[in-house]
Amino acid sequence: IGKYKGKPRRWVVERTNSWHNRFRAILIRWERKAENYLASLYLASSIIVFNFFNR
């Protein structure tokens, strides 16, 4: 099995998860349909990116 030759980037994933945890709609899944949950996840991600570039 090949060896991983890059730096571990776990902090990127942990940071993104903490940003998503600020949105209650995706923190606790209230929606029954997966499409609605994904839509709220995409909306939260869009808001995060917008706020990141709007600093």
Q: Distance (Å, rounded) from C-alpha 16 to C-alpha 45?
A: 9
Per-residue pLDDT at 24: 78
Reply yes or no on whether the pLDDT at 13 is more than 60. yes
Q: Which amino acid is at 8?
A: P
Counting the structural domains of the chain, the total is 1
Q: Distance (Å, rounded) from C-alpha 41 to C-alpha 24?
A: 11
Provide the H-helix boundaries in the chain: 10-20, 24-27, 34-53
44 domain residue, yes or no = yes
41 domain residue, yes or no = yes
Per-residue pLDDT at 6: 67
Residue 37 lies in domain? 10-53
Which comes out higher in pLDDT, residue 8 or 44?
44
Q: Distance (Å, rounded) from C-alpha 55 to C-alpha 52?
A: 6
pLDDT band at 2 (very low <50, low <70, confident <90, very high): low
pLDDT digits (tens, 9 = 90+) for 23-49: 877 777 777 888 988 888 899 999 999
